[in-house]
């Protein structure tokens, strides 16, 4: 404070002296023998008579007053009090100027001028009015506040500067009765703008004995605004507390609940009241209690604590909480702890699951022998598997393979080709699937691969692709040797088919040409028997018989061989054949045998086929003949002929209930001249099934038998739909 001649003291609302200037210090020492210091109260300085009058004046005028108190016979104490405002327009403290004046000087013109100056320059708006209404005088602050000049203001009534309402009426009425008023009213500026103000008005009698009103007005817009903000904040905090989905609470220093919101009660699985009677400890599982108590203790020492803990509600539900605890300060002393607890049970279990999934995913991709890589739009690798980084790039861990582009590990030409291809895949969104590609690994080793690139987008429409490259070098090698083998096989088959043809040719010629000498033998044997029968003894006749029999058998074999070699040799016309008619014809040829054996024949639906009719007829004929021939003596033969349509071929079945075939012979019976019975038992040469197989082979189908020995057999054969 500037050292001016007038002693000035600053006091607070409780009259405590809070600051002073040097003049005031001297003044107090000289006049009252007191040194101003900490917590010195005005009451202790002023003589008791002056004090009570001062206090009355001060309180009645809201700290704005000027008065002269009788100090001694010759001296008076002149005190002028005015409030000091802070930036928000609130009264911060009061400024007192105190002076000892001789009784004579009390109303000296110098004093009045000084006072006028002070009032004029006060930051309070000060009005001097006639209690009936019109304004007599105003200071500068009043003009500034209401936007009028001092001249304009003079003569205005209170209604011009105060909003007329019931509050104003009440205030004026009260003031007229009590002689003073302190009220919050609405001021009206010249512009018409209204503002809240605190009005302090007191009626006094001037030296001329006229009633006057001294009114001070403080613009409290700022204060009101602050109050509103404070109120809003309070409400916002209250709502934040009440409606917070997280648990919000406070504890005393022992951890007992002082307050908690509904979410906290829900977490605790009980009522707020019940929790208010307890501490938090029983809600923490035993294993976590020591740790949580340590955190709590630290918070009570002033540290903000954030931690995760397990939690058990009073109904036993376990949860995981994310807790933040803060110390509560009152007058700079910690009196408790408040905090927020978030239920992160789901999040934790999801994180756990994610981690497990990630580990599993990692394990899977790392154990896959294919190279797997993911690149982003900038062609940088953002994920690689063990096979890629180790076997292809030759680096020790995934980290070293990340952020690289093909240009960094391949030669320029190969890298460019890859980058272009990647861009195409990412831009078009069309994947590359199993493209054969030759790559070279970090050692320069050549690998045949099957490359797949699948585009995808992630986050903010960023693009990327997942690549999988499978090493098929081994398969390629095998393919190559298989091809070679195939070629060799084909050559061999060609040779074989050539020699088969030659063999067939030979068999045909042989059997054809053998017939003539055989006929000669048999006819000469017949001549021998006819001409010399009476001259030959019994033994010689027997020899002739055996020779003849052998010749007949030989003829049969030759005929069979001829027939076998003819299958497929002579091409027949391919015609549409109704199989039901064909089978009926075959059965007609077998009529005698069927009647003799009283055989039951059942025929299913049979299709129409386009094949060479004579071959098909022979096929059915041989199989039906066998089914009749190898019937069981113990039962009447039952023969079933049926067909089954498959996707690419027809399957036929000729089933009988005959003697059946032992498993070990089921393949052998299709070989030429292979039979399982003596001629004396069942006639035949063992050519029938061999011919069947040759016919079916010729059609491009298969033939096989299924049988239960002693119960019956099923002969199956297939004919492709197109051949």
Closest contact distance (angstroms) between CB of 690 and ligand ADP is: 6
DSSP 357-381: HHHHHHHHHHH-SSEEEEEETTS-E
Distances (CA, A) of 217 to 64, 85, 137, 152, 162: 11, 12, 14, 18, 11
Contacts with ligand ADP by CB under 6 A lie at 626-627, 630, 656, 658-659, 661, 669, 675-677, 684-690, 713
Our CB check for ligand ADP shows the closer of 440 and 635 to be 635
**Alpha helical stretches, state H, 395-441:** 412-428
Our CB check for ligand ADP shows the closer of 501 and 677 to be 677
Closest contact distance (angstroms) between CB of 626 and ligand ADP is: 3
Residues in CB range of 336: below 8 A, 6 or more apart: 250, 251, 252, 253, 258, 300, 327, 328
Closest contact distance (angstroms) between CB of 623 and ligand ADP is: 7
3-state secondary structure of 660: coil
Closest contact distance (angstroms) between CB of 706 and ligand ADP is: 11
Our CB check for ligand ADP shows the closer of 186 and 557 to be 557
Question: Which among 366, 357, 412, 407 is positioned nearest to 389, based on CA atoms?
Answer: 366
- The first and second tokens of residue 708, run together, are 């239960």
3-state secondary structure of 430: coil
Closest contact distance (angstroms) between CB of 686 and ligand ADP is: 4
Our CB check for ligand ADP shows the closer of 548 and 714 to be 714
DSSP secondary structure code for residue 2 in this structure: -
Q: Which residues, in sequence order, are bridge partners of residue 126?
A: 216
Closest contact distance (angstroms) between CB of 473 and ligand ADP is: 50
Our CB check for ligand ADP shows the closer of 175 and 675 to be 675
Burial class (CB in 10 A: 0-12, 13-18, 19+), 423: middle
Closest contact distance (angstroms) between CB of 636 and ligand ADP is: 15
Sheet strands side by side (includes 247-252): 257-260, 247-252, 333-343, 318-330, 305-312
Closest contact distance (angstroms) between CB of 675 and ligand ADP is: 3
Q: How many CA atoms lie within 13 A of 401 on its CB side?
A: 24
Closest contact distance (angstroms) between CB of 659 and ligand ADP is: 5
Our CB check for ligand ADP shows the closer of 513 and 662 to be 662
For residues 267 and 319, the answer to whether their CB atoms sit within 8 Å is yes
For residues 179 and 171, the answer to whether their CB atoms sit within 8 Å is no
Q: Where are the beta strands (DSSP E) in 595-648?
A: 600-603, 608-612, 638-645
Burial 542-551 (b: 16+ CB within 10 A, else e): eebeebbeeb
Strand 462-471, strand 333-343: pairing: unpaired
> Using CA atoms, how far apart are residues 665 and 670, in angstroms rounded to an integer?
9
Closest contact distance (angstroms) between CB of 508 and ligand ADP is: 20
Our CB check for ligand ADP shows the closer of 202 and 687 to be 687
Closest contact distance (angstroms) between CB of 713 and ligand ADP is: 5
Our CB check for ligand ADP shows the closer of 422 and 713 to be 713
Our CB check for ligand ADP shows the closer of 260 and 624 to be 624
The residue count for the chain: 723
Closest contact distance (angstroms) between CB of 535 and ligand ADP is: 39
The CA-CA-CA angle for residues 620, 499, 570, to 5°, reads 40
Our CB check for ligand ADP shows the closer of 374 and 661 to be 661
3-state secondary structure of 541: helix
Closest contact distance (angstroms) between CB of 689 and ligand ADP is: 3
Our CB check for ligand ADP shows the closer of 270 and 685 to be 685
Closest contact distance (angstroms) between CB of 596 and ligand ADP is: 17
Q: Which residues, in sequence order, are bridge partners of residue 448?
A: 438
> Using CA atoms, how far apart are residues 82 and 118, in angstroms rounded to an integer?
9
Q: What are phi and psi of 652, to 5 degrees?
A: -115, 150
Our CB check for ligand ADP shows the closer of 214 and 626 to be 626
Our CB check for ligand ADP shows the closer of 17 and 687 to be 687
Our CB check for ligand ADP shows the closer of 464 and 658 to be 658
Report the 3 state secondary structure along 238-271.
Answer: HHHHHHCCCEEEEEECCCEEEEECHHHHHHHCCC
Question: Which among 100, 98, 56, 69 is positioned nearest to 81, based on CA atoms?
Answer: 98
Our CB check for ligand ADP shows the closer of 11 and 661 to be 661
Closest contact distance (angstroms) between CB of 478 and ligand ADP is: 41
Q: Which residues, in sequence order, are bridge partners of residue 436?
A: 450
Our CB check for ligand ADP shows the closer of 386 and 629 to be 629
Question: Which among 346, 338, 340 is positioned nearest to 247, based on CA atoms?
Answer: 340
- The first and second tokens of residue 440, run together, are 């070279």
> Using CA atoms, how far apart are residues 183 and 168, in angstroms rounded to an integer?
9
Closest contact distance (angstroms) between CB of 435 and ligand ADP is: 54
Our CB check for ligand ADP shows the closer of 172 and 654 to be 654
Closest contact distance (angstroms) between CB of 372 and ligand ADP is: 59
3-state secondary structure of 17: strand
> Using CA atoms, how far apart are residues 566 and 670, in angstroms rounded to an integer?
17
- The first and second tokens of residue 63, run together, are 């700290």
Q: Which residues, in sequence order, are bridge partners of residue 216?
A: 126, 200
Residue with nearest beta carbon to ligand ADP: 684
């Amino acid at each position: 404070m500037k050292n001016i001649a007038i002693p000035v003291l600053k006091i607070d609302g409780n009259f405590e002296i809070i600051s002073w200037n040097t003049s005031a210090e001297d003044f107090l020492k000289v006049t009252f023998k007191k040194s101003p210091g900490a917590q010195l109260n005005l009451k202790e300085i002023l003589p008791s008579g002056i004090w009570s009058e001062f206090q009355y004046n001060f309180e009645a005028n809201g700290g704005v007053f000027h008065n002269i108190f009788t100090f001694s016979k010759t001296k008076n104490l002149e005190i002028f009090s005015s409030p000091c405002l802070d930036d928000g327009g609130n009264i911060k403290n009061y400024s007192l100027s105190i002076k000892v004046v001789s009784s004579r000087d009390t109303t000296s013109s110098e004093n009045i001028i000084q006072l006028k100056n002070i009032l004029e320059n006060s930051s309070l708006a000060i009005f001097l009015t006639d209690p009936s209404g019109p304004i007599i005088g105003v200071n500068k602050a009043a003009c500034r506040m209401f936007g009028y000049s001092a001249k304009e203001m003079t003569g205005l009534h209170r209604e011009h500067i105060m909003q007329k309402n019931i509050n104003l009426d009440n205030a004026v009425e009260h003031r007229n009765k009590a002689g003073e008023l302190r009220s919050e009213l609405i001021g009206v500026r010249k512009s018409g703008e209204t503002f809240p103000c605190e009005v302090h008005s007191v009626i006094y009698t001037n030296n001329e004995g006229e009633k006057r009103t001294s009114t001070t007005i403080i613009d409290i817009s700022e204060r009101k605004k602050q109050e509103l903000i404070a109120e809003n904040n309070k409400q916002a905090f209250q709502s934040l507390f009440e409606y917070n989905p997280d648990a919000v609470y406070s504890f005393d220093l022992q951890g007992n609940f002082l307050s908690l919101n509904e979410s906290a009660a829900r977490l605790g699985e009980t009522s707020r009241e019940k929790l208010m009677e307890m501490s938090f400890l029983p809600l923490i599982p035993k294993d976590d209690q020591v740790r949580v108590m340590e955190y709590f203790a630290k918070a009570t020492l002033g540290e903000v604590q954030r931690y995760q803990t397990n939690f058990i509600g009073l109904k036993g539900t376990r949860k995981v909480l994310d807790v933040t605890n803060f110390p509560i300060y009152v007058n700079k002393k910690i009196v408790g702890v408040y905090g927020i607890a978030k239920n992160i049970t789901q999040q934790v279990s999801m994180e756990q699951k994610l981690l497990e999934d990630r580990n599993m995913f990692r394990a899977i991709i790392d154990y896959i022998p294919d190279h797997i890589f993911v690149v982003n739009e900038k062609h940088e690798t953002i994920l690689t598997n063990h096979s890629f980084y180790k076997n292809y790039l030759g680096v020790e861990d995934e980290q070293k393979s990340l952020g690289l582009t093909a240009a960094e590990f391949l030669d320029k030409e190969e890298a460019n080709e890859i980058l272009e291809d990647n861009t195409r895949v990412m831009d078009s969104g069309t994947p590359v699937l199993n493209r054969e590609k030759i790559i070279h690994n970090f050692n320069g080793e050549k690998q045949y691969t099957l490359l797949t690139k699948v585009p995808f987008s992630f986050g903010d429409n960023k693009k990327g692709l997942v690549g999988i490259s499978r090493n098929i070098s081994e398969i390629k090698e095998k393919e190559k040797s298989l091809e070679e083998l195939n070629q060799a096989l084909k050559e061999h088959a060609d040779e074989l088919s050539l020699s088969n043809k030659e063999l067939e040719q030979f068999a045909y010629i042989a059997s054809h040409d053998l017939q003539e000498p055989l006929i000669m033998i048999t006819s000469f044997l017949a001549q021998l028997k006819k001409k010399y029968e009476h001259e030959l003894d019994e033994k010689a006749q027997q020899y002739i018989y055996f020779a003849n029999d052998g010749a007949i058998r030989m003829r049969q074999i030759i005929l069979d061989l001829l027939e076998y070699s003819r299958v497929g040799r002579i091409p027949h016309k391919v015609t549409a054949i109704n199989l039901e008619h064909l089978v009926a014809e075959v059965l007609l040829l077998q009529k005698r045998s069927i009647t003799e054996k009283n055989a039951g024949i059942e025929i299913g639906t049979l299709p129409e086929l386009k094949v060479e009719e004579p071959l098909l007829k022979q096929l059915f004929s041989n199989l039906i003949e066998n089914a009749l021939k190898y019937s069981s003596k113990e039962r009447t033969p039952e023969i079933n002929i049926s067909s089954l349509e498959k996707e690419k071929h027809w399957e036929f079945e000729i089933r009988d209930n005959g003697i059946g075939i032992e498993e070990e012979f089921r393949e052998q019976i299709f070989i030429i001249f292979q039979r399982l019975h003596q001629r004396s038992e069942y006639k035949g040469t063992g050519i029938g099934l061999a011919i069947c197989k040759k016919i079916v082979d010729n059609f491009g189908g298969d033939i096989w038998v299924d049988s239960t020995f002693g119960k019956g057999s099923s002969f199956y054969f297939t004919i492709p739909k197109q051949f």
